[in-house]
Structure 1
């Protein structure tokens, strides 16, 4: 199913600009992570940054990009994508959240906070 996940240090991913993951920190992490591959560029001139891909355990390929202090993960996920991306969020001392506000860790779905 096509769905977006967000890695953010904010309580809600849409507030990531208030509690950002700095771009240079993300780039350093991504470049040092063998499961992430730089596959192109987004933006222009000094705003330009690499775009990364990750092949999930089920073979699906998703994209990861930095946007306004958060990491946006887009693609068609099969299986338990939170297990793979929950670990990245934990490495970055951040949260993994879906489009509808659900929260994940590398071990599973967290209960709603509301």
Structure 2
């Protein structure tokens, strides 16, 4: 695979502001269930926490909040997508690929 996935509450991740996952909601969820793994800095939103998740497939992915959604990077195995579904379901959201495909 080798591209980003997005956890969002809309049909396409670029429209995440229409039904946002708030930064606070994400960080509360992630701090309870995922491993903290550093920070990433964006010019427009500042510094965001990065969380790691071992998919059990050889992929250890990184997740971070950005513009009303959660971005997942580091997926190389298609099997890893199934391991991430519980996160999107717990947030009442969907798992969407860069090109808008739903998983």
The TM-score normalised by the length of structure 2 is: 0.87
SS in 1 for 2:56: coil
Misfit runs of 4+, over 4 Å: none
**Which has more radius of gyration?**
1
- Give the drift of 1:79: 4.1
Structure 2 unaligned regions, length at least 5? none
Give the alignment of 1:1-114 within 5 angstroms.
1-33=1-33, 36-43=34-41, 47-104=46-103
Higher relative contact order (CA 8 A, sep 6+): 2
Structure 1 unaligned regions, length at least 5? 105-114
The TM-score normalised by the length of structure 1 is: 0.80
Report how many aligned residue pairs link the two structures: 101
CA distance in structure 1 between the partners assigned to 2:46 and 2:3 by the alignment:
26
